[in-house]
Amino acid sequence: MSTVSRASLDQKLALAKRCSREATLAGAKAAAIATVTSAIPTLASVRMLPWAKANINPTGQALIISTVAGMAYFIAADKKILSLARRHSFENAPEHLKNTSFQGTGRPHPAFFRP
């Protein structure tokens, strides 16, 4: 069983904190943009469309807008976390795994694509 040094644990903790902060900021930006882009058509449709005016009360409007903002936050934060994890796992990979180029047989196309 290998021992893990305190310095490496501190480094991993600092990296995790930085990644979670970046993901939080990305999610907040996406939520702010989604709030504005969903609020404009929702509020406009309630004023202009008779069906929406009759059936969507202020609570429904707030629910529509906040649901879109929440979804945007979690989707953007999740994408950011996954991209950072992929990047950091690639940086820490051994050299023989970093070469992802395909060493094929030299044929650019299958036989049925040849002219």
Residue with more model confidence, 3 or 82:
82
User: Is residue 74 domain-shared with residue 41, that is, in the same domain?
Assistant: no
Structure tokens that stand for 85 in this block: 């994890």
User: Is residue 2 domain-shared with residue 32, that is, in the same domain?
Assistant: yes
Contacts 24+ apart (CB under 8 A), 65-69: 65/35, 65/38, 65/39, 68/34, 68/35, 68/37, 68/38, 69/31, 69/32, 69/34, 69/35, 69/38
Q: What is the pTM of this model?
A: 0.70
User: Is residue 42 domain-shared with residue 75, that is, in the same domain?
Assistant: no
* pLDDT of residue 96 exceeding 80: no
Beta-carbon contacts of 43 under 8 Å, excluding residues fewer than 6 positions away, are 61
**pLDDT digits over 16-72, tens only?**
899 899 999 999 999 999 999 999 999 999 999 999 999 999 999 999 999 999 999
Total domain count for the chain? 2
77: containing domain: 57-94
